[in-house]
Amino acid sequence: MTTSSWGGGGGGGGGAVRLWCCGLLLMLLSGGGGAAAQRPPAYKTLSGKAPLVIAKGGFSGVFPDSSQNAYVFALSSTSGDTTLWCDVQLTKDGVGICLRDLLMNNCTSIKQAYPAGEKAYIVNGQRSKGWFPIDYTISSLQSVILTQAIWSRTDKFDFAYLPILAVTNVTDFAKSSSVWLNIEHDIFYRQHGLNMTKYILSISKGGSVQYISSPELGFLQSISGRVNRKTKLVFRFLDATSSDPSSNQTYGYLLSNLTFIKTVASGIMVPKEYIWPVTTNNYIQPAKSIVRDAHSAGLEIYASDFANDRTIPYNYSYDPLEEYLHFVASDNFSVDGVLSEFPLTAAAAIGCFTNLNVSSKTDHGSPLIISHNGASGDYPDCTDLAYQKAVDDGADVIDCSIQMTSDGVPVCMSSINLFDTTNVQRTSFSNRASIFKDIQPTPGIFTFNLTWAEISSSDLRPKISSPESIYYLVRNPVYRNAGNFFRLSDFLTFAKDKDLSGIMIIIKNAVFMANSLGFDVVDSVTKALSDAGYNNQTTKAKEVMIQSEDSAVLVNLKQLETKYKLVYTLPSTIGDASASSLVDVKKFADAVIVERESIFPESQGFIMKETNLVKDLRSAGLAIYAQVFRNEFVSPPWDFFSDVTVEINSYVQLVNIDGIITDFPKTVRRYKMNSCTGLGVNMPSYMNPAEIGVLAQLLNGSQAQPPALAPMPVLNSSDVTEPPFPSAAPKNAPGGAANGSTPAPGASPSGSQAAAVMRAGILPMVTALFASLLI
Ligand SMILES: *[C@@H]1O[C@H](CO)[C@@H](O)[C@H](O)[C@H]1NC(C)=O
Ligand SMILES: *[C@@H]1O[C@H](CO)[C@@H](O)[C@H](O)[C@H]1NC(C)=O
Ligand SMILES: *[C@@H]1O[C@H](CO)[C@@H](O)[C@H](O)[C@H]1NC(C)=O
Ligand SMILES: *[C@@H]1O[C@H](CO)[C@@H](O)[C@H](O)[C@H]1NC(C)=O
Ligand SMILES: *[C@@H]1O[C@H](CO)[C@@H](O)[C@H](O)[C@H]1NC(C)=O
Ligand SMILES: *[C@@H]1O[C@H](CO)[C@@H](O)[C@H](O)[C@H]1NC(C)=O
Ligand SMILES: *[C@@H]1O[C@H](CO)[C@@H](O)[C@H](O)[C@H]1NC(C)=O
Ligand SMILES: *[C@@H]1O[C@H](CO)[C@@H](O)[C@H](O)[C@H]1NC(C)=O
Ligand SMILES: *[C@@H]1O[C@H](CO)[C@@H](O)[C@H](O)[C@H]1NC(C)=O
Ligand SMILES: *[C@@H]1O[C@H](CO)[C@@H](O)[C@H](O)[C@H]1NC(C)=O
Ligand SMILES: *[C@@H]1O[C@H](CO)[C@@H](O)[C@H](O)[C@H]1NC(C)=O
Ligand SMILES: *[C@@H]1O[C@H](CO)[C@@H](O)[C@H](O)[C@H]1NC(C)=O
């Protein structure tokens, strides 16, 4: 069976096993499969050719490992530039099948098909319990389907009911692409009367298998010289302290004898930590010399264990592409290939992101890279370190969210509540909690309850943000309390001589601050800008953007006839905007900020459609900035394959977004510098944008279909119209503090009582495990 015979088929096989229509799989990325990217001439691989992308069980990061869908999509999403990896297991009747584990429990439906089939066997000296392929003939496995083995991935694609594949099915799919067979358990199969050597020799005769790997040196010796001459043998290193059961030597020991390995194999595969060692607290250490050692022994070296949705060392800022670049485009070396469950990201890293001139600055062209609290993915929000990193990483615009101190100093901070941004509950200011219903229903310690001297004192430390902590993803622990806050004046001075196209100042809670605290924030901001010379500055002119979700603030600024660019933040849930509301917005704003989900709304992590919002905003002549882009793999919807670069690429190519607001400016900057999106018809398929809604369409009609979207409100004129901005009541004037700030009954904000409320009510929400990292 060849790919073309099922390419257009719908429904597919009968009986217990039903196949999806496969045509859709080819459309997950829009546009045709272009040619591979023009390769920069030299890679520091052994051959000098581009490193190989090896798709482990196909695109197993999305579809069940070793399934037809996983293999087909691995090829279609990478212009066929991928080697298909199959973990070979043998059935009772000696047929080779592809399955990620010797135990079938997690990667198939075997438990449901044969509930009584559990057995215990000795595997490499260890007793192991579960369902083993040696107990089933190929025909008895017809009723078993492949399932997603990794708990953090969606299991919805299990409902495609995909059958277990024979090794020969995979060599058929591969057509002109290459196939890599990995044999983990030759000794085990031999102990059960099955001859893996014989099977592999029979299958590799045709020459469709280009690579054979095994962690058992004895197995490679048994086929060495007996396979097709073009087939490369690769010795696979496992954990350094474990032993190769065929030689009883540890992998760590075998590593010291590469010249011996070379007599059997033409390459080695190592876990990625062999190359870039990782500390117990998950930071990488300087690279080992292993790549150079292997190359000087004449061995190719492949790195394993890449996946976009696994925790990677903090040095990579949660960006899987950055990790690949350390292996394929390091200053000193390149591995000869990477084994990945998300081959698209690996292919893009190699084809479009190596050999970029990182010292060339961006031109500040579209899309604008707008920081979100500075480079808050790497350092605590709005600190000097976060802003410096944003500048170093090539942000075009840095942002400051204005909060006010009790002595009326405007400062940059992502939240009005110091619980969110500092360790305040561990300081002498912990008794300053109060409740302000206009801000939040629970107690907080607010910036306006501390002076600037107190906020900048060494007792109070900034705290790194953790927007994905419910998934146990915390940010850069080494710097979790590093840096110092900026006053607005410090921020303006800092930004002045930096290579930025502009700054963005964000005004929130202005009405509350005017009515309840007597602060005129708009006035404070305009005064600070003029004091810092942003009004009369002629050289290195920076665009000043002022952002608010309150139209009254922008209307007020518009009346002042400043040169500032006014940016309106749209409500987070809207899916469209009425024509009349846009006429109103246009009166006071030049640009708008929208949430990502207002453009591509999701249901259970699947994008369901593209809304009309962008089209309507654009026809009103408004620039559109989308927020907030985050690298953590849980942030993009499934459609972007846990890779924020795919997400950014899709917003750029599909909706031509004018600005990207991000916690990780470096990732966006590198995207803007890629060497592929300018290639026109020659752009490789892995740089095509995702095809919106196709994953959900794949599930259409199955039990796994995500629920329909709830209706999204349409922005209307009444949303946009607010009462005029109040003039600030003088501070401490009678009635000033009382207006809208009455503390909740029984929750006196004074002293340790409130602190007790806070500890009881808030801290338990942080899991005990991560409390120490978050605070
Ligand atoms: C199955 O998955 C669970 C959870 O991820 C894991 O603990 C277990 O070791 C896996 N079992 C096998 C046989 O892979
Ligand atoms: C796998 O190969 C077998 C034998 O050639 C064939 O009957 C079957 O249809 C193939 N399965 C798929 C999904 O291509
Ligand atoms: C397994 O098959 C190979 C190749 O046919 C053969 O050389 C070898 O002796 C066989 N091993 C056993 C234990 O039968
Ligand atoms: C390795 O150790 C096992 C168990 O002790 C033994 O059965 C086997 O013969 C040994 N193999 C070699 C090559 O020494
Ligand atoms: C490398 O392995 C071979 C075969 O086991 C052995 O003869 C040789 O002494 C080893 N060399 C070193 C340096 O350990
Ligand atoms: C990784 O990050 C840590 C913490 O910032 C740093 O100490 C270390 O040098 C980094 N590793 C490399 C290889 O740069
Ligand atoms: C990489 O190259 C740099 C500069 O050439 C050198 O200092 C460093 O030791 C090299 N690292 C390795 C692992 O070879
Ligand atoms: C990299 O960019 C810088 C700045 O634009 C330029 O001066 C330099 O020549 C570039 N290097 C290469 C190798 O193109
Ligand atoms: C915080 O500041 C507000 C406004 O000035 C004031 O009403 C409140 O009493 C203060 N709370 C504490 C605990 O100092
Ligand atoms: C810009 O304005 C500031 C404050 O208004 C003033 O101190 C400064 O001298 C002005 N600079 C120029 C070049 O006019
Ligand atoms: C699902 O299929 C139905 C009927 O074929 C179609 O009307 C609907 O638009 C599809 N939904 C999606 C999300 O593709
Ligand atoms: C405007 O939208 C709000 C909520 O977004 C809704 O309550 C209100 O009824 C809408 N008004 C009109 C005139 O559609």
Per-residue pLDDT tens digits for 360-376:
666 788 999 999 999 99
Q: Is 360 in the pocket of ligand 8 (CB under 6 A)?
A: yes
Sign of CA dihedral 404, 406, 409, 413: negative
Same domain, 57 and 179: yes
Which range, of 13-27, 62-76, 345-359, averages the lowest pLDDT? 13-27
Rounded Cα distance, 678 and 692, in Å: 22
Asked which of 355, 379, 398 is the last residue of a domain, the reply is 355
Q: Is 124 in the pocket of ligand 3 (CB under 6 A)?
A: no
Q: Count each helix (H run) and each strand (E run) in the chain, helices first.
A: 29, 26
**Closest atom of ligand 4 relative to the 246 alpha carbon:** 13
- With cut-offs at 50, 70 and 90, classify the pLDDT of residue 271: very high
Going by alpha carbons, the residue nearest to atom 9 of ligand 6 is 285
Rounded Cα distance, 423 and 211, in Å: 54
Summary mean pLDDT of the chain = 88
* Cα 579 to middle of ligand 12, angstroms: 14
Same domain, 313 and 276: yes
**Is pLDDT of 739 > 50?**
no
Q: Which domain holds residue 577?
A: 368-407+486-720
Residue 458 within any structural domain of the chain: no
Same domain, 541 and 652: yes
Residue 258 within any structural domain of the chain: yes
Q: What is the pLDDT of residue 41?
A: 53
* Cα 152 to middle of ligand 1, angstroms: 12
3-state SS, residue 759: helix
Residue 96 within any structural domain of the chain: yes
Going by alpha carbons, the residue nearest to atom 5 of ligand 7 is 332
Q: What is the pLDDT of residue 9?
A: 27
Most confident of 75-79, 363-367, 415-419, 536-540: 415-419
Rounded Cα distance, 159 and 600, in Å: 24
Q: List CB contacts of 615: < 8 A, sequence separation 6 or more.
A: none
Nearest partner of 652 among 370, 367, 315, 403, judged by Cα: 367
The b-or-e profile of 538-574 (16+ CB within 10 A means b, else e) is eeeebbbbbbbbbbbbbbbbbeeebebbbbbbbeeeb
**Closest atom of ligand 4 relative to the 248 alpha carbon:** 1
Burial of 536 (0-12, 13-18, 19+ CB in 10 A): exposed
Q: What is the pLDDT of residue 25?
A: 60
**Closest atom of ligand 1 relative to the 107 alpha carbon:** 14
Phi (first) and psi of residue 89, to 5 degrees? -120, 160
Same domain, 289 and 403: no
Q: What is the pLDDT of residue 23?
A: 52
* Cα 395 to middle of ligand 10, angstroms: 27
Which range, of 139-153, 213-227, 527-541, averages the lowest pLDDT? 527-541
Same domain, 383 and 347: no
Rounded Cα distance, 284 and 292, in Å: 18
- With cut-offs at 50, 70 and 90, classify the pLDDT of residue 538: low
**Is pLDDT of 14 > 60?**
no
Same domain, 187 and 281: yes
Name the residue of 188, 199, 222, 223 whose CB sits within 8 Å of the most ligand 3 atoms, as the mutation to test its pocket: 222
Name the residue of 697, 698, 705 whose CB sits within 8 Å of the most ligand 11 atoms, as the mutation to test its pocket: 697
Q: What is the pLDDT of residue 498?
A: 94
Asked which of 720, 742, 758 is the last residue of a domain, the reply is 720
- With cut-offs at 50, 70 and 90, classify the pLDDT of residue 262: very high
Looking at the CA of 20, name the nearest ligand. Answer: 2
How many domains does the chain contain in total? 2
Rounded Cα distance, 148 and 316, in Å: 26
Same domain, 255 and 384: no
Q: List CB contacts of 104: < 8 A, sequence separation 6 or more.
A: 110, 130, 131, 132, 133, 144
**Closest atom of ligand 6 relative to the 284 alpha carbon:** 11
Same domain, 561 and 503: yes
**Percent of the chain having pLDDT more than 90?**
79
Cα distances from 93 to residues 110, 196, 197, in angstroms, run 17, 12, 15
Q: Are 408 and 454 in contact (CB under 8 A)?
A: no
- With cut-offs at 50, 70 and 90, classify the pLDDT of residue 706: very high
**Residue-wise pLDDT tens digits, 651-683:** 999 999 999 999 999 999 999 999 999 898 899
Residue 757 within any structural domain of the chain: no
Torsion, Cα 608 612 613 614, to 10 degrees, reads: 100
Going by alpha carbons, the residue nearest to atom 2 of ligand 10 is 533
Neighbours of 413 (CB within 10 A): 26
Phi (first) and psi of residue 208, to 5 degrees? -85, -10
- With cut-offs at 50, 70 and 90, classify the pLDDT of residue 766: very low
Q: Is 716 in the pocket of ligand 12 (CB under 6 A)?
A: yes
* Cα 710 to middle of ligand 12, angstroms: 16
Looking at the CA of 573, name the nearest ligand. Answer: 12
**Closest atom of ligand 3 relative to the 195 alpha carbon:** 1
- With cut-offs at 50, 70 and 90, classify the pLDDT of residue 451: very high
Looking at the CA of 132, name the nearest ligand. Answer: 1
Same domain, 396 and 323: no
Residue 16 within any structural domain of the chain: no
Same domain, 187 and 272: yes
Q: Is 260 in the pocket of ligand 5 (CB under 6 A)?
A: yes
Residue 433 within any structural domain of the chain: no
Looking at the CA of 163, name the nearest ligand. Answer: 2
> How far apart, in Å, do the first and last CA atoms of the chain sit?
58
Looking at the CA of 247, name the nearest ligand. Answer: 4
Rounded Cα distance, 206 and 228, in Å: 8
Give the CATH number for residue 180.
3.20.20.190
Q: What is the pLDDT of residue 730?
A: 54
Q: List CB contacts of 329: < 8 A, sequence separation 6 or more.
A: 43, 349, 353, 354, 355
* Cα 532 to middle of ligand 10, angstroms: 8
* Cα 726 to middle of ligand 9, angstroms: 21
* Cα 462 to middle of ligand 10, angstroms: 33
Same domain, 229 and 85: yes
Going by alpha carbons, the residue nearest to atom 2 of ligand 11 is 700
Strand ranges (E), 107-229: 119-123, 126-130, 179-182, 209-214
Q: What is the pLDDT of residue 206?
A: 76
Q: What is the pLDDT of residue 507?
A: 98
Q: Are strands 368-371 and 623-629 parallel, antiparallel or unpaired?
A: unpaired
Residue 548 within any structural domain of the chain: yes
**Is pLDDT of 36 > 60?**
no
**Residue-wise pLDDT tens digits, 335-393:** 999 999 999 999 999 999 997 876 666 678 899 999 999 999 999 999 999 999 999 99
* Cα 496 to middle of ligand 5, angstroms: 63
Please name the amino acid found at residue 86.
C
Cα distances from 107 to residues 144, 206, 310, 431, 438, in angstroms, run 10, 29, 18, 53, 51
Rg of the chain taking only CA atoms, in angstroms:
29
pTM of the model: 0.90
Going by alpha carbons, the residue nearest to atom 14 of ligand 5 is 257
Residue 451 token pair: 């002076």
Same domain, 281 and 381: no
Q: Are 677 and 649 in contact (CB under 8 A)?
A: yes
Residue 672 within any structural domain of the chain: yes
